């Protein structure tokens, strides 16, 4: 019996203690008419056989592609120590740290994670993590609605289309009014945002760098929004904050984002890591778990889950959110990653990635008929216009061993020839040069 | 223990930045750059490794301790599934690949995992279709509530209420409220089940859904469950099954056969994926026939030629609820677990989980009040109210367990039982472990009569004693401050 320790003799003695004759007697509340109509599952297999089966499945997936595909989810290098530490079973086989005395390892790690997120974003408070960057953005929008008592949200269309869709799905029964504003020359349209921004607006939501890779400075939007009592929410790429102006320096009220770039594998879409940081005044409106510092009976420092009166297990239908499980193990990976990379290392890593991406731009520009969009600065991802349909070019490049980027036409009307290209520290000069050679061949064919 | 930030030494570094192999020194205009660097730790790799290794040792976990945390199903998580999740063919796969033209062929193994797990969960629960996207149990509940809303909206109905029993998990009312519903709470009757008369009194044409956990958080399987589903359907309401306690009924009953319209499953409970200190989990949602068309996009379909593909053309879908296809590596581990155990293995899971719970219940009932003393399913609730009269609370007992290397049961939940201790041993624990737990609990009962003071001091064997939670909430310190005094 797999993972079940009971011997026949033990089962007998336990049944005797319970004073029933058989295990089936324990299920007598489930009368015959409530029993399964079917339970036609395959019989179990040995560990070896199951492993073999998954080796076969894993081999059906392509791992050899040279990756320039990003669109919010990036192929960064993960130091070995991240895996080694996060794979400790005292971390991964624990539950939410409800009992602080026997969970100080988890609680302190999350406290350190919250500190690291505050430092990266330049904001004062952070929670213990959320599911992913998209649901974190939705939660931030709801914080703004609660904090302002308003129901209108201005959404920049530079925000990842999937994230926008998640927000629209979640709020479809809540009478929230969304106004979407366009991206002009790669950047958030001030003209349009300032036109629709008013004293009914709960928040303006922007992304930096935006989905097309453009880096922006949203400080002017913050000033205008604050003058009308609205909040600004910025979805950010956390790794890029080693270099780019932080949400705190920009003056935004809430920062969220996808933490996958901080030491998490791509893993076909999850688990990922939603993070959220905000100004101090908003902390009691935040969703999710929060760890705080306190002292024990001897005055010794310790950590606990705190501000729990916001949460579903206490407040039930009046809670700030329904979140129970979050992504603690992913948050642990992030704080270990950030500790390993360190203050100086993060800056150097960002510089390197930026230089590689800029080099890739110059290489694209050598290809006849290809135009690199340069109206805004970019960090690691940029947009190029191809002389042909990007969808088809991407498909032909796959045959040559390259995931050369994301065809923007999939998310944006009228951008069928545009390709979004991502570069990480893992792409060598040779990778870039050879990819460009293949692209030239594909475009000429 | 000092924080990793407090171990920082200016100029120290653990990271090896790859060599720059490209020419040029481009610059981003200064206005876009950050002015002050994030004050991340400046430490060596050994500093980091030793720090987090030592922190790990300060946790109780399933691998190191008995962990009978009620409603959380802290069973043993087999090691081989971790190795599967770490296979390169899964680990390095970009989630957008199958959305590129021609990319679907490059991810057939991953799409097959999702598709086959859906099919297995359909058979286990008796539902028609599943979405694997919800990223946690509560996320599944919200998805379910959105499906229910879409269903009623499609029928031109604006139903306002969701009914939950007072024994429900807090996530149920919270999820219903977030989906835009008002919550009606039904009390529990003497048998530990939702009061049927009160339920019927509150059920009407404005009821959108009834959300139930079955067995409920008292560990009781409501034998009138089918009747409840039928009554709800009569007024056009839907019935939601919270699968947190599915570990009790594998092969014994299926929500789909009972009449439930929507279910969520916690893969990180019943299907043995690790909880990771509070996540990642996964909360796939299954639906009956009438809700299939509202499931979130994308969906994974099998083509006539046997290959798998994503499909987006579902006009009545509630849309996107997660960025991709769910917490893929969690799905992967649960698929491996189901394949390893198979039909009989899963039946064994529930039988032994229920056996272990009843054994502990019977052994403890002389020393503790059991408010609903009857055959239970995979968990049961005892009350320390007798001990409370002598000045010892459920929390004190929990802390004594910690001193005995046992993770406490869930305390003060469900809310309807005073001084509640909710015990879920799970099937993977041996008789010897259960006996030891029972022994410690009896010792706690004895001490609470003879030396109550000693209990209120526990735990004494941990790195810290009881913490001042009031102070933590009143003066929140949620991050390390550079200038804070080092204690």
B421 beta partners: B382, B411
A410 touches chain B (CB under 8 A): yes
Query: Which one of A12, A100, A101, A222 makes the best mutation probe of the B interface by having the most chain B beta carbons within 10 Å?
Result: A101
A·B CB contacts under 8 A: 699
In this structure, how many other beta carbons lie within 10 angstroms of the beta carbon of residue A237?
A: 25
Contact in structure between B343 and A42 (CB atoms under 8 Å): yes
B207-213 vs B129-131, strand pairing mode = unpaired
Q: Phi and psi (nearest 5°) for B404?
A: -105, 20
Peptide bond into B459 cis (omega under 30): yes
Q: What distance in Å separates the CA atoms of residue A36 and residue A26, rounded to the nearest whole number?
A: 17
Q: What distance in Å separates the CA atoms of residue A190 and residue A182, rounded to the nearest whole number?
A: 9
A308 touches chain B (CB under 8 A): yes
Which pair of structure tokens corresponds to residue A293? 């510092």
Residue from the list A268, A302, A358 with its beta carbon closest to the beta carbon of B26: A358
Report the share of chain A in percent with pLDDT over 90. Answer: 93
**Which tens digit of pLDDT belongs to each residue from A194-247?**
999 999 999 999 999 999 999 999 999 999 999 999 999 999 999 999 999 999
CA distance B187 to chain A (A): 15
Confidence of residue A310 (pLDDT cuts 50, 70, 90): confident
Q: What distance in Å separates the CA atoms of residue A168 and residue A300, rounded to the nearest whole number?
A: 47
Where in A5-140 does DSSP place strands (E)?
66-67, 125-126
Q: What is the pLDDT of residue B485?
A: 46
Q: What distance in Å separates the CA atoms of residue A173 and residue B372, rounded to the nearest whole number?
A: 39
A403 touches chain B (CB under 8 A): yes
B107 touches chain A (CB under 8 A): yes
Looking at residue B275, what DSSP letter applies? -
Query: Which one of A339, A341, A408 makes the best mutation probe of the B interface by having the most chain B beta carbons within 10 Å?
Result: A339
- Distances from the Cα of B136 to the Cαs of A121, B238, B269, B273, in angstroms? 26, 22, 11, 12
Chain A residue at shortest CA distance from B124: A39
CB contact under 8 A, B3 and A115: yes
- Rounded to the nearest angstrom, the gap between the alpha carbon of residue A257 and the centroid of all alpha carbons in its chain is 6
**Which tens digit of pLDDT belongs to each residue from A37-75?**
999 999 999 999 999 999 999 999 988 899 999 999 999
**Which tens digit of pLDDT belongs to each residue from B227-259?**
999 999 999 999 999 999 999 999 999 999 999
Residue from the list A243, A291, A344 with its beta carbon closest to the beta carbon of B13: A344
B113 touches chain A (CB under 8 A): yes
CB contact under 8 A, B95 and A266: yes
Residue from the list B91, B226, B323 with its beta carbon closest to the beta carbon of A162: B323
Residues 397-456 in B contacting A (C-alpha not used; CB under 8 Å): 398-399, 402, 407-408, 410, 413, 427-431
CB contact under 8 A, B180 and A355: no
A57 touches chain B (CB under 8 A): yes
Contact in structure between B235 and B207 (CB atoms under 8 Å): yes
B3 touches chain A (CB under 8 A): yes
B27 touches chain A (CB under 8 A): no
CB contact under 8 A, A296 and B466: yes
Taking 50 as the pLDDT cut, the residues of chain B under it are 485-487
Query: Which one of B64, B279, B316 makes the best mutation probe of the A interface by having the most chain A beta carbons within 10 Å?
Result: B279
Query: Which one of B69, B280, B356, B471 makes the best mutation probe of the A interface by having the most chain A beta carbons within 10 Å?
Result: B280
Residues 468-487 in B contacting A (C-alpha not used; CB under 8 Å): 468-469, 471-473, 476-480, 487
Q: What distance in Å separates the CA atoms of residue A322 and residue A131, rounded to the nearest whole number?
A: 12
Sign of CA dihedral A312, B294, B273, A82: negative
Q: What distance in Å separates the CA atoms of residue A376 and residue B29, rounded to the nearest whole number?
A: 10
Residue ranges of domains in chain B: 82-339, 344-471
Q: What is the pLDDT of residue B145?
A: 96
Q: What is the pLDDT of residue B487?
A: 36
CA distance B89 to chain A (A): 4
A34 touches chain B (CB under 8 A): yes
Q: What is the pLDDT of residue B483?
A: 64
Chain B residue at shortest CA distance from A12: B355
Q: What distance in Å separates the CA atoms of residue B110 and residue B103, rounded to the nearest whole number?
A: 12
In this structure, how many other beta carbons lie within 10 angstroms of the beta carbon of residue B7?
A: 18
Q: Which of A251, A400, A287, A326 is nearest to B139 (CA)?
A: A326
Residue from the list A169, A242, A338 with its beta carbon closest to the beta carbon of B318: A169
Residue from the list B1, B173, B356 with its beta carbon closest to the beta carbon of A108: B1
**Which tens digit of pLDDT belongs to each residue from B443-487?**
999 999 999 999 999 999 999 999 999 999 999 999 998 765 443
A231-236 vs A254-258, strand pairing mode = parallel
User: Is the interface score ipTM higher than 0.95?
Assistant: yes
A338 touches chain B (CB under 8 A): yes
Confidence of residue A308 (pLDDT cuts 50, 70, 90): confident
Q: Which residues of A touch B83 (CB under 8 A)?
A: 51
Residue from the list B49, B252, B272 with its beta carbon closest to the beta carbon of A35: B252
CA distance A328 to chain B (A): 5
**Which tens digit of pLDDT belongs to each residue from A353-369?**
999 999 999 999 999 99
**Which tens digit of pLDDT belongs to each residue from A147-189?**
999 999 999 999 999 999 999 999 988 899 999 999 998 899 9
Indicate the average pLDDT of chain A.
Answer: 96
- What SS3 state is found at A75? coil
Q: What is the pLDDT of residue A322?
A: 85
Contact in structure between B439 and B401 (CB atoms under 8 Å): no
Looking at residue B369, what DSSP letter applies? B
Contact in structure between A179 and A152 (CB atoms under 8 Å): yes
> Environment class of residue B368 by beta-carbon count within 10 Å: exposed (0-12), middle (13-18) or buried (19+)?
buried
Q: What distance in Å separates the CA atoms of residue A171 and residue A335, rounded to the nearest whole number?
A: 32
Q: Which residues of B touch A5 (CB under 8 A)?
A: 428-431
A181 beta partners: A156
Which pair of structure tokens corresponds to residue B43? 């430490």
Which alpha helices (H) appear in B236-327, and where do they start and end? 255-258
CB contact under 8 A, A328 and B431: no
Q: Which residues of A touch B53 (CB under 8 A)?
A: 85, 88
CA distance A64 to chain B (A): 9
Which positions ≥6 away from A135 have C-beta within 8 Å? A166, A274, B135, B139, B322
Q: What is the pLDDT of residue A25?
A: 97
Query: Which one of A161, A268, A284, A293 makes the best mutation probe of the B interface by having the most chain B beta carbons within 10 Å?
Result: A268
Q: Tell me the CATH number of domain B82-339, given options 3.30.465.10, 3.40.640.10, 3.50.50.60, 2.60.40.3080.
A: 3.40.640.10
Q: What distance in Å separates the CA atoms of residue B416 and residue B411, rounded to the nearest whole number?
A: 12
pLDDT for residue A255 is more than 70? yes
Which pair of structure tokens corresponds to residue A260? 């996958």
B285 touches chain A (CB under 8 A): no
* Check whether domain B344-471 has CATH 3.90.1150.10, yes or no: yes
Q: Which residues of B touch A293 (CB under 8 A)?
A: 472, 477-478
Contact in structure between A426 and A360 (CB atoms under 8 Å): no
A183-184 vs A187-188, strand pairing mode = antiparallel
Structural domains of chain A, ranges and CATH numbers in brackets:
8-55 (no CATH), 66-76+345-444 (3.90.1150.10), 80-337 (3.40.640.10)
Residue from the list B12, B38, B69 with its beta carbon closest to the beta carbon of A241: B38
Q: What is the pLDDT of residue B484?
A: 52
- Distances from the Cα of B79 to the Cαs of A3, A59, A87, A245, B329, in angstroms? 11, 21, 11, 43, 14
CB contact under 8 A, B38 and A97: no
Residue from the list B38, B351, B462 with its beta carbon closest to the beta carbon of A23: B351
CA distance B321 to chain A (A): 5
CA distance A363 to chain B (A): 11
Query: Which one of B152, B276, B330 makes the best mutation probe of the A interface by having the most chain A beta carbons within 10 Å?
Result: B276
Residues 47-66 in B contacting A (C-alpha not used; CB under 8 Å): 48-49, 51-65
CB contact under 8 A, B275 and A313: no
> Environment class of residue A32 by beta-carbon count within 10 Å: exposed (0-12), middle (13-18) or buried (19+)?
exposed
Q: What distance in Å separates the CA atoms of residue A307 and residue A286, rounded to the nearest whole number?
A: 10
CB contact under 8 A, A54 and B251: no
- Rounded to the nearest angstrom, the gap between the alpha carbon of residue B336 and the centroid of all alpha carbons in its chain is 19
Q: What is the pLDDT of residue A1?
A: 57
Q: Which of A355, A250, A306, A382 is nearest to A127 (CA)?
A: A306
H helix or E strand, kind and range, residue A294: strand A291-295
**Which tens digit of pLDDT belongs to each residue from A89-115?**
999 999 999 999 999 999 999 999 999
Residue from the list B24, B345, B463 with its beta carbon closest to the beta carbon of A104: B463
């Amino acid at each position: 019996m797999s993972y079940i320790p009971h011997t026949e003799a033990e089962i007998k003695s336990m049944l005797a203690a319970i004073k029933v004759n058989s295990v089936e007697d324990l299920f007598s509340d489930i009368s015959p008419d409530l029993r399964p109509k079917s339970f036609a599952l395959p019989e179990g297999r040995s560990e070896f056989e199951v492993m073999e089966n998954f080796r076969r499945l894993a081999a059906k997936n392509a791992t050899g592609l040279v990756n320039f595909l990003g669109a919010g989810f990036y192929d960064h290098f993960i130091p070995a120590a991240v895996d080694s530490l996060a794979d400790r079973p005292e971390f991964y086989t624990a539950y939410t740290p409800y009992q602080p005395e026997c969970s100080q390892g988890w609680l302190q790690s999350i406290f350190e994670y919250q500190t690291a997120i505050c430092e990266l974003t330049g904001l004062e408070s952070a929670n213990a993590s959320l599911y992913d960057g998209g649901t974190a953005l939705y939660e931030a929008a709801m914080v703004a609605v609660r904090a302002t008592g308003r129901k209108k949200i201005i959404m920049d269309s530079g925000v990842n289309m999937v994230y926008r869709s998640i927000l629209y799905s979640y709020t479809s029964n809540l009478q929230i009014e969304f106004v979407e504003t366009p991206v002009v020359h790669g950047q958030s349209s001030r003209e349009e945002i300032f036109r629709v921004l008013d004293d009914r607006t709960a928040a303006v939501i922007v992304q930096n760098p935006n989905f097309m890779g453009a880096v922006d400075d949203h400080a002017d939007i913050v000033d205008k929004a604050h003058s009308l009592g609205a909040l600004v929410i910025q979805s950010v790429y956390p790794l890029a904050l080693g270099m780019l102006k932080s949400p705190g320096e920009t003056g935004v009220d809430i920062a969220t984002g996808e933490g996958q770039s901080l030491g998490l594998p791509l893993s076909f879409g999850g688990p990922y890591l939603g993070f959220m940081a905000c100004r101090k005044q908003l902390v009691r409106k935040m969703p999710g778990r929060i760890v705080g510092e306190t002292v024990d009976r001897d005055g010794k420092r310790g950590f606990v889950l705190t501000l729990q009166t916001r949460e579903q297990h206490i407040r039930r239908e009046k809670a700030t959110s329904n979140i129970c499980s979050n992504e603690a193990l992913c948050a642990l990976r992030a704080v270990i990653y950030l500790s390993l990379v360190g203050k100086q290392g993060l800056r150097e890593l960002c510089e390197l990635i930026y230089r590689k991406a800029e080099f890739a731009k110059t290489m694209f520009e050598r290809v006849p008929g290809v135009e690199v969009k340069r109206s805004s600065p970019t960090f690691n991802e940029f947009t190029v216009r191809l002389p042909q349909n990007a969808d088809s070019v991407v498909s032909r490049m796959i045959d040559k061993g390259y995931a050369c980027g994301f065809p923007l036409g999939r998310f944006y009307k009228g951008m069928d020839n545009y390709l979004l290209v991502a570069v990480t520290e893992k792409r060598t000069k040779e990778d870039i040069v050879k990819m460009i050679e293949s692209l030239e061949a594909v475009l000429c064919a | 223990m000092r924080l990793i930030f407090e171990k920082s030494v200016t100029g120290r570094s653990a990271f090896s930045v790859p060599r720059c192999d490209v020419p040029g020194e481009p610059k981003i205009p200064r206005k876009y750059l950050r002015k002050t660097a994030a004050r991340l730790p400046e430490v060596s790799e050994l500093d980091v490794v030793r720090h987090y290794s030592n922190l790990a040792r300060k946790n109780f976990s399933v691998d190191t301790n008995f962990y009978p945390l009620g409603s959380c199903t802290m069973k043993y998580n087999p090691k081989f599934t971790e190795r599967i999740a770490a296979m390169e063919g899964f680990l390095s796969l970009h989630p957008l690949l199958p959305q590129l033209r021609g990319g679907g062929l490059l991810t057939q193994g991953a799409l097959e995992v999702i598709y086959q797990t859906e099919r297995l969960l359909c058979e286990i629960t008796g539902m028609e279709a599943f979405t694997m996207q919800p990223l946690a149990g509560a996320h599944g509940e919200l998805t379910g509530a959105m499906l229910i809303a879409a269903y009623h909206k499609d029928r031109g109905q604006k139903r306002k209420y969701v009914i939950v029993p007072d024994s429900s998990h807090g996530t149920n009312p919270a999820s219903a409220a977030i989906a835009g519903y008002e919550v009606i709470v039904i009390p529990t009757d003497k048998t530990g089940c939702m009061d049927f008369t009160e339920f019927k009194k509150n059920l009407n044409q404005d009821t959108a859904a009834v959300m139930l956990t079955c067995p409920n958080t008292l560990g009781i399987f409501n034998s009138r469950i089918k009747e409840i589903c039928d009554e709800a359907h009569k007024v056009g309401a839907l019935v939601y099954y919270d699968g947190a306690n599915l570990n009790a009924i594998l092969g014994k009953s299926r929500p789909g056969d009972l009449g439930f319209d929507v279910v969520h499953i916690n893969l990180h409970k019943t299907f043995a994926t690790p909880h990771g200190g509070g996540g990642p989990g996964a909360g796939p949602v299954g639906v009956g026939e009438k809700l299939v068309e509202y499931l979130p996009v994308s969906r994974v379909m099998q083509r006539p030629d046997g290959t798998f593909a994503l499909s987006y053309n579902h006009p009545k879908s509630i849309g996107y609820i997660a960025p991709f296809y769910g917490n893929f590596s969690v799905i992967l581990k649960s698929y491996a677990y189901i394949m390893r155990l198979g039909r009989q293995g899963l039946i064994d899971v529930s039988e032994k989980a229920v056996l272990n719970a009843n054994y502990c219940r019977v052994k403890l009932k002389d020393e503790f009040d059991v408010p609903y003393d009857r055959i239970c399913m995979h968990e049961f609730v005892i009350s320390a109210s007798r001990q409370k009269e002598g000045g010892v609370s459920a929390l004190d007992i929990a802390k004594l367990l910690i001193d005995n290397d046992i993770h406490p049961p869930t305390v003060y939940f469900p809310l309807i039982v005073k001084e509640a201790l909710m015990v879920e041993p799970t099937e993977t624990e041996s008789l010897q472990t259960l006996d030891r737990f029972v022994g410690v609990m009896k010792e706690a009962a004895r001490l609470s009569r003879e030396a109550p003071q000693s209990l209120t001091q526990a735990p004494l064997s941990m790195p810290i004693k009881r913490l001042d939670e009031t102070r933590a909430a009143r003066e929140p310190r949620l991050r390390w401050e550079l200038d804070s005094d080092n204690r």
